[in-house]
Structure 1
């Protein structure tokens, strides 16, 4: 799988960074000064030695042709993935116009074509040998013949434990409301952590995760009692749904099972398409980093969500360059209603990523809101729903918190339909990011196509396209 002719930009390289400090440090290393013995190959490998604080330079090698996204190895002690040296080497390799060798007089002098040194070749050969073994049908693990009766008994025992946990959760929620929400602020986080531990014991990880989220709401700012009550209501709805799942329609019952944390059904049939990478971002808690990657099939018209996880302090393995498209198979999570038909895994990749030549079709804000409502009808616990808005203009809405004078007021932004009267408010969390101002600057008062997530707090813009261009601007 050659990388010749596949052009990367600095934004696409820096999109792989696990955090802002890594982007800044990687940018400083994206020059020839600290590097020696750099090179790249037609097989999609890039390598080099980077001078560090010690006497020995750091050995950095990257496989940019990996089917799940770039893979990295570096002898530095950093626990970030990719480290600043890998980011710097990729920036040096990409240069101002694309990969080494793609433009005479460009970055070819900094990262010339050639054969990898022994230390890089050993890592590449070992990695690709492992990948070939994992894909080989002959190497698939031999599974013991399943015992249907034993499996049924295990499922029954787990259902009984989950039922006991849901019953206890209902009692604890009732006690909280009976005593008043102010008691939650007095009890501190310990109340929720102990309740979450009980849900883990009941083998209901979905309930445990939602309980832990409640612990961050008390004393979180103005209006926290209302937010706590909303989340308690959703948690009560989920626990009650489990306890009365036999009365629910089959699709909703399946949603409840998945939201509680029972195993997902078997994967569906792989879908091959040219998948455009629309957005990628991480959410971090004390134990886990979750990476969300949104892709859109140019032929199928399907939008899919790829999730990847990393332990605390480490970035997830999957990383795809925003604005690129790849010919690959996606394996959907069957008819998993909790993912609402969106969740998928990246399967076999047939070509290296190449620049996308278009954009997903968009909808007016009113229609996008209606589709979000339909999704909530089928899954009340849905956090976000993807939407591409066509011909919208970022505009300031009403202000809040500043009185009549407007002094100190917070501006509420919205995406207004350029051809109508509907608009979607931008979520407060998104309005505080620098990406909002990038969106405003890109528009300059002209309509844009914007991809993002609809949520109960508003729209979270993640990528945008100016009229007449196919270049994806990451927000």
Structure 2
């Protein structure tokens, strides 16, 4: 596949410019009550919206874009309510960890609550647009001197507007200034994506249904899993946890042997506590899954289980590195805010590339760089040892910062080897 074709597929959507209207800075509210900001974006990562950096394969032929590690998953409303309760936000419809949310059978009351929340999110999105305009008017250089206070205050406003997804993205903006060479470009790109999400919410009635559902999910509104139950023998591809000061999030990737569908299960625990859901990697689960609405419909809810997880010889069907890059590019057309897609790579070899690593097609051609954090993890050395220079099958997440390997299988018979 030519470099031009891969670039055309993998370019993220952005907007031409951030809007111009301004609003005076208001409401110095309790930003300090918010959770700790996520880790910053490191220097040297590729641009999201403006292009794709080509990475040459070991033979110098072909190229594949840099991709990204784990996707920013949407936290369900109940988790955000728990967090809001911990931080003392007396928002309508929120409750602390010991006070379950009241359930009413009155559909009219539920409709009114949903309308009130939508109005608050709209007000928050409008204010955020104005703050983005203020940021550009003052110049991005000033953003590096403002510190985290400005971002935390804005994030607090989005929490008050009951838009936790917007709040999370604002906190991530605060981690970019002075984070390494090229940070103003990355900040501008993230602002453009945030502006795109704001506009998607404000014009959600004009969007296709799947894209509108994705926008609702990205701002922090979670619908119920409405897809019909799909029974399959689900191979447990990977399981790993991420944590911040508020929550521990567990991601479990599954692949249906008969349906050829890949699904993501999310579960949550309090900070420092592991979530309850545990599925052993490499085993197969006979169960039903129901998908959530949104583009791609990959997130799912685990339904009825017909048998405990058992051993299997099933392996995911793999792609080449250039096909993986194309898959990510195609996914961005349906979800411009997508950080990564699940991908299995077939017959790849871990290869040293200067200060980093990449997975190169064993047959030559192209390669995908591994995310920078992968190089410091024990899983990389397990992958290198498993390969021993021979091609292996690797499942992971492919996005704009690189490929994050999660599980690998040897070239011959052998069990799955977790890498995370």
Partner of 2:371: 427
- How far residue 248 of structure 1 moved from its aligned partner, in angstroms, is 2.7
Instruction: Determine which structure has greater relative contact order: mean sequence separation of CA pairs < 8 Å that are 6+ residues apart, divided by chain length.
Output: 2
- How far residue 415 of structure 1 moved from its aligned partner, in angstroms, is 1.2
Partner of 2:403: 459
* Counterpart contact for 1:293–1:306, Cα < 8 Å: yes
TM-score, scaled relative to structure 2: 0.72
Deviations 1:68-125 (A, max 9, x none): xxxxxxxxxxxxxxxxxxxxxxxxxxxxxxxxxxxxxxxxxxxxxxxxxxxxxxxxxx
Question: Unpaired segments of 5 or more residues in structure 1?
Answer: 1-141, 400-409
2:232 pairs, out of 258, 269, 273, with 273
1:394 pairs, out of 337, 347, 350, with 350
- 5 Å-filtered alignment, 1:284-323, equals 284-323=243-282
For this pair of structures, how many residues does the alignment match? 318
Partner of 1:211: 170
* Counterpart contact for 1:306–1:346, Cα < 8 Å: yes
Partner of 1:96: none
Partner of 2:288: 329
Structure with greater strand percent: 1
1:256 pairs, out of 211, 215, 233, with 215
* Counterpart contact for 1:358–1:470, Cα < 8 Å: no
- 5 Å-filtered alignment, 1:129-148, equals 145-148=105-108
* Counterpart contact for 2:210–2:294, Cα < 8 Å: no
- Correspondence 1:436 to 2:380: yes
2:156 pairs, out of 190, 197, 213, with 197
Partner of 2:133: 174
Question: Unpaired segments of 5 or more residues in structure 2?
Answer: 1-101
2:114 pairs, out of 142, 150, 155, with 155
Cα distance in structure 2, aligned partners of 1:174 and 1:212: 17
- How far residue 293 of structure 1 moved from its aligned partner, in angstroms, is 0.8
* Counterpart contact for 1:265–1:336, Cα < 8 Å: no
Cα distance in structure 2, aligned partners of 1:266 and 1:315: 23
* Counterpart contact for 1:359–1:470, Cα < 8 Å: no
TM-score, scaled relative to structure 1: 0.64
- 5 Å-filtered alignment, 1:362-401, equals 362-397=318-353, 399=354
* Counterpart contact for 2:265–2:300, Cα < 8 Å: yes
- Local SS of the residue matching 1:158: helix
2:193 pairs, out of 228, 231, 234, with 234
* Counterpart contact for 2:225–2:300, Cα < 8 Å: no
RMSD of equivalent CA atoms: 1.9
- Local SS of the residue matching 2:159: helix
Partner of 2:12: none
* Counterpart contact for 2:359–2:368, Cα < 8 Å: yes
Closer, same or farther in 2 for the Cα pair 1:144/1:239, shift >3 Å? closer
Point out the structure with max Rg over C-alpha: 1
Partner of 1:114: none
Deviations 1:235-281 (A, max 9, x none): 11101221222333333222212211223144322222221111111
